Amino acid sequence: MAGVRQFDEDEVLEAVMQTLWARGYAETTMADLAAAAGVQRGSLYHAYGDKETLLLKALDRYGTHYGAATRKALADPDPRKALEGFFETHLARMAAPSNPAGCLMCQTAMECGGRDPAPAKVVRKQFLRTEAALKDTLDRATAAGLLAEGADTRALARFFLGVSRGMAVMHKAYGDLSAARDAAKTALTVLQSPPAK
């Protein structure tokens, strides 16, 4: 039947995401994506149009999977556990042997920010969602007495977001998780011991 895709879309988009994550947008061709997905290049063009559309699909997939994990961690009622879990989800993603080093969102921001508005807009939206979830958690930390009085939770949310993105860069640069773990551990020192009851 005309118009019916002759491939498993979930498998294809997973292969596309992994390839863009490993190689970067500029260094990846449609032929690379087709080969990784095990389909004809014409099938990708017919189904998705162009490489940018596939990048947007990959970013959506990445954000849905990994972004959901970080937001779930941040929803923990205990703000200290929520923030520890936030970093642990990033470390778990980096530690998974099937995943490329680094972060697809971070990589895309560096490659496309300022010159390719569609991917940059998707990354910004994901970052802002995470920033908002971090701020909510840090507001709860303030209420629990875990932050210094008058702490700017918006600025701290951006700090934690920046640390998490820096962890991904260090993982890609160093090839192991030791520096990323140190960064996460140090960031958590902004939390105080809960007040004595």
pTM beyond cutoff 0.85 = yes
Please check whether residue 159 is in contact with residue 187, taking contact to mean a CB–CB distance below 8 angstroms.
yes
What pLDDT shows up at residue 112?
A: 85
List, for residues 85-144, the tens digit of each pLDDT value.
999 999 999 999 999 999 999 999 998 876 778 999 999 999 999 999 999 999 999 999
**How far is residue 76's CA from residue 86's CA, in Å, rounded to a whole number?**
10
Amino acid at 117: P
What pLDDT shows up at residue 122?
A: 93
Give the pLDDT band of residue 154 (cuts 50, 70, 90).
very high
What pLDDT shows up at residue 93?
A: 93
DSSP designation for 192: P
Average pLDDT, the chain: 91
Q: Token digits for 8?
A: 């498993």
With respect to CATH, is domain 9-190 assigned 3.40.50.300?
A: no
What pLDDT shows up at residue 35?
A: 95
List, for residues 2-13, the tens digit of each pLDDT value.
454 577 899 999
Please check whether residue 188 is in contact with residue 87, taking contact to mean a CB–CB distance below 8 angstroms.
yes
**How far is residue 84's CA from residue 80's CA, in Å, rounded to a whole number?**
6
Domain boundaries, the chain: 9-190
> DSSP 3-state assignment of 11?
helix
Judge whether residue 1 has pLDDT over 70.
Answer: no
